[in-house]
Amino acid sequence: MSKDLTSRILNLLAREFEYSQSLHSEKEDMMSKLGVEDATSFDTALQELERKGLVNLWIDPRGKIKLAKITWRGINEIGEVKLRYGLEVK
């Protein structure tokens, strides 16, 4: 379950990176997109991904995970990303 969740999160963050290379993703938004309601197991999965260096997390001063973003290593783990929008590459 945990492995499945971590791979789904990583895949979502890779897809989000395709839309914007600047922004982190908000945890609540990610949970909603993945249909996850259990915040504790979601936090555990995010922390596991961070431990492996696959995502960066931003944790607020109260200790709550708020934001996540895929790292260079995480993108390599996923493999292909196809950045969206912009001009045709010539």
Partner 1 sequence: MDALPWWTERNRKFAAEVEEFVNSELRPLADKMDHNQAMEVQWEISKFVVDKGFHPLAMLVEEEHGGRGEGYTGYTILNEEFGRCYLNINPLLTTVFGGGPIHLFGSPEQKEKFLNPMLKGEKWTAICVTEPDVGNDASNVQLYAEKEGDEYVLNGWKRFITLGSTADYLMTYTVTDPSPEAQATHSHLTAFLVPRETKGITIEKLNELTGNVEMFNSVIRFKDVRVPEDNMILFEGDGWTVMTSGLNIERLGIAATVGQARMLVESARAYGRRRVQFGAPISRYQTIQMRMADMAIRLKLARTYLYGLAAQLDSGFADMFQFGVDAAICKIFSTDALIEIAEDALVILSGDGYTEEFLAASILKNALLTKVTGGGNDVLKLFIGRQEFKQTPDPMILPRVLRGASPDEL
Six-digit token string for 79: 């493999």
Six-digit token string for 29: 């938004």
Q: What are phi and psi of 54, to 5 degrees?
A: -90, -20
- Side chain identity, residue 84: R
Instruction: Draw the binding track, 8-27, toward partner 1 (x: CB under 8 A; -: no contact).
Output: ------------x-xxxxx-
Six-digit token string for 10: 């990583």
Instruction: Draw the binding track, 59-88, toward partner 1 (x: CB under 8 A; -: no contact).
Output: -------xx-x---------------xx--
Using the minimum distance from each CB to partner 1, give the nearer residue, 66 or 73. 66
- CB–CB of 42/2 below 8 Å? no
Rounded to a whole number of angstroms, the minimum distance from the CB of residue 58 to partner 1 is 5
Rounded to a whole number of angstroms, the minimum distance from the CB of residue 2 to partner 1 is 26
